[in-house]
Amino acid sequence: MPASWILLIIIALSVIGYFIAKQRALASGGGDRRVLHSLPKYYGTNAALAAAAPALLILGIWMILQPVVIDSIISSNLPEAVQADRGERSLAMADVQRIADGLDTAVSRGAMTADEAVDIRVGASNVRERLAEVGVALGSEVDANTLQMAQEYRALTSTGNIWRAIAVLVVALGGLAIAYMMTHKDFRARNSVERAILSLLIAAACVAILTTVGIVFSLIFNTHDFFSRYPAEDFFFGTRWEPSFSGRGGASDLGFLPLIWGTLFISLIALLVAVPLGLFSAIYLSEYASKPVRSIVKPLLEMLAGIPTIVYGLFALLTVGPLLLDVFGRDGVLGVNWMSGGTAAMTAGLVMGIMLIPFVSSLSDDIINAVPQAMRDGSFGLGATQSETLRQVILPAALPGIVGAILLAASRAIGETMIVVLGAGAAASLSLNPFEAMTTVTAKIVSQLTGDGEFNSPETLVAFALGMTLFVITLALNIVALWIVRRYREQYE
């Protein structure tokens, strides 16, 4: 029975449970709702939850675990040599899966009978052609072993699905029955619904946390895998980034330094643009601007934050790059020939800086506004001008918070991808010239993974090591920044 049917049945049971439990509760109170402990709808909800929640939980877990279990059972039939290598094993299992899916499709289209799909053998008929007839294209001839494994896979899956339906429906009915039996005028349905809601909320929080943990672990495992194929010191201290894509295991230089250099260089340019502009506009908005001006300018500035970064990337590629080239390029206005192409660290840095302005300004604005009015009054009361007050009282008081804001902006800059992909070029270089093409960690993660490589060569796995390193750097920056901002908030509470 397909999962969608099971789902429908659970919902139906749950709705039925709602009404019969409500009915029973009313009946147990002799039709007088005032003698019930809870409102009738709570008894109904309680039964509905009892029918649906555990059943759905089991269904979910089953759907996650069944493929894993079947996978491990089937793959034990693979030759020893294939099993040992993670990459080959996953390739072989992908083949098995594809054939199994193909057989499913064939059966559902009527091109094969169900029995035929189970019994078909390589010698007797050409499986590849039969599957091609129903639109399932296979890359190579099907060998006997793989076909058999695919058939076994199908058999296991269908048995699993039957047991899944049975287990889930039993649980749903059981839950419904228990809740129905418990429904009585003295039963505290309201409290039990309350507890159920609490656990629902906790479950939601857990999903979010577990997902994060899962992401981190997958990063860690794959990073570990990478370092087992490529020496860590060559990665961290290598000064050349020259991945080879021709052959697996060919000599690639996967040095991290040029990438992190590009990242930091471009981020620095971005911050040099964003911090003064953002900070000054925050100061203007919070200290000088009149209400009407503020109410127009602030949303406008924050609108910048809503522009997708790919649009900034286009802006870098099509507008800022050529513009810079016109000024600093060979035939440029200055005639200096510092720049040979539109894509350069400067291009990406400038545009990224513009992107970060609202980020810096709106955080700084909040922080400057959090400096109590009493500080300003005190300073004005002593005959200080607005800019004296600003420089000597407000900014020093707000400084830790502003530093926090800048660090947050820095971690945004370091993690930014699209603007770099489009604006900075693709060549990894350890150059000091901001008008030269550079590339960053994030941009290289993209380029290592866009392609059809399997995840079993250092050239692709390096993406995880890069991601992990970046994650650690931005995490550290964020923690420091949040710590500073929090400490600053406490100062005035």
Answer for the pair 235, 444: CB distance below 8 angstroms, yes or no. Answer: no
Cβ distance to other proteins smaller for residue 111 or 384: 384
**Cβ pair 417, 309 in contact under 8 A:** yes
DSSP letter at 139 equals: S
Burial class of residue 201 in the structure, from the number of CB atoms within 10 Å of its CB (0-12 exposed, 13-18 middle, 19+ buried):
exposed
Which of 26-34, 69-77, 375-383, 444-452 is the region at the interface with other proteins (rule: CB under 8 A)?
Answer: 375-383
8 Å CB contact between 308 and 296:
no
Closest CA to 9 of 140, 220, 167: 167
What is the closest distance, in whole angstroms, from the C-beta atom of residue 383 to other proteins in the complex?
A: 3
* Residue with smaller CB distance to other proteins, 335 or 378: 378
Which DSSP helix (H) or strand (E) runs through 242? strand 241-242
User: In the stretch 317-336, what mask flags binding to other proteins with x, by CB under 8 A?
Assistant: --------------------
Give the residue, chosen from 348, 350, 397, 428, that forms a contact with other proteins under the rule CB under 8 A: 397
For other proteins (CB under 8 A), the number of binding residues is 21
Q: Which stretch binds other proteins (CB under 8 A): 193-201, 222-230, 271-279, 381-389?
A: 381-389
Q: How far is the CB of 385 from other proteins (least distance, A)?
A: 5
Between CA 248 and CA 425 the distance in angstroms is 26
Name the minimum Å distance from CB 388 to other proteins: 6
Range 333-372, binding other proteins (CB under 8 A): 372
Which of 220, 392, 472, 476: binder of other proteins (CB under 8 A)?
392
Query: Are 92 and 78 spatial neighbours (Cβ–Cβ below 8 Å)?
Result: yes
Backbone angles phi, psi at 254, to 5 degrees: -115, 60
Q: Which is nearer to other proteins, 228 or 491 (CB)?
A: 491
Shortest distance (Å) from residue 400 CB to other proteins:
10
Nearest distance, CB of residue 370 and other proteins, angstroms: 13
CA dist 476 and 474 (Å) reads 5
Nearest distance from C-beta of residue 486 to other proteins, angstroms: 17
Distance CA 145, CA 156 (A): 16
CA pseudo-torsion sign 369, 373, 376, 379? negative
Q: Does 490 bind other proteins (CB under 8 A)?
A: no
DSSP assignment letter at 390: I
CA-closest candidate to residue 342, choices 330, 357, 324: 324
Q: Helix, strand, coil: what percent of the chain each, to 5?
A: 75, 0, 25
Tokens 């003295």 belong to 186
Q: Which of 5, 203, 378, 454 binds other proteins (CB under 8 A)?
A: 378
Alpha helix locations (H) across 284-336?
291-304, 309-315, 321-328
Minimum CB separation of residue 294 from other proteins in Å reads 11
* Cα(412)–Cα(271) distance, integer angstroms: 10
* Residue 384 beta carbon to other proteins: minimum distance, rounded to whole angstroms: 5
Q: Can you tell me which of 94, 181, 210, 382 binds other proteins, judged by CB under 8 A? A: 382
Site membership for other proteins, residue 387 (CB under 8 A): no
In the complex with other proteins, the residue whose CB is nearer, 156 or 289, is 289
Provide, rounded to whole angstroms, the least separation between the CB of residue 387 and other proteins. Answer: 11
> Is 352 in contact with 275 (CB distance < 8 Å)?
no
Binding of residue 158 to other proteins (CB under 8 A): no
List 113, 158, 199, 385, residue binding other proteins (CB under 8 A): 385
Please state the closest distance from residue 235 (CB atom) to other proteins, in A. Answer: 46
Least distance (Å) between residue 289 CB and other proteins:
11
- Which CB atom, from 214 or from 372, has the smaller least distance to other proteins? 372
The dihedral built from the CA positions of residue 408, 410, 415 and 417, taken in this order, carries a sign that is: positive
Interacting residue with other proteins among 170, 374, 475, 479 (CB under 8 A) = 374
DSSP 288: I
Tell me the CA end-to-end span of the chain in Å, nearest whole number: 60
Q: Which of 222, 379 has the CB closer to other proteins?
A: 379
Gap between the Cα atoms of 256 and 249, Å rounded: 18
The interface mask with other proteins, positions 266-295, x = CB under 8 A, is ------------------------xx----
Residue number, 125 or 491, with CB nearest to other proteins: 491
Residue with smaller CB distance to other proteins, 389 or 474: 389
Nearer to other proteins, 404 or 425 (CB): 404
Decide if 47 contacts 15 (C-beta within 8 A). Answer: no
Chain residues in the site for other proteins (CB under 8 A)? 290-291, 372, 374-385, 388, 392-393, 396-397, 491
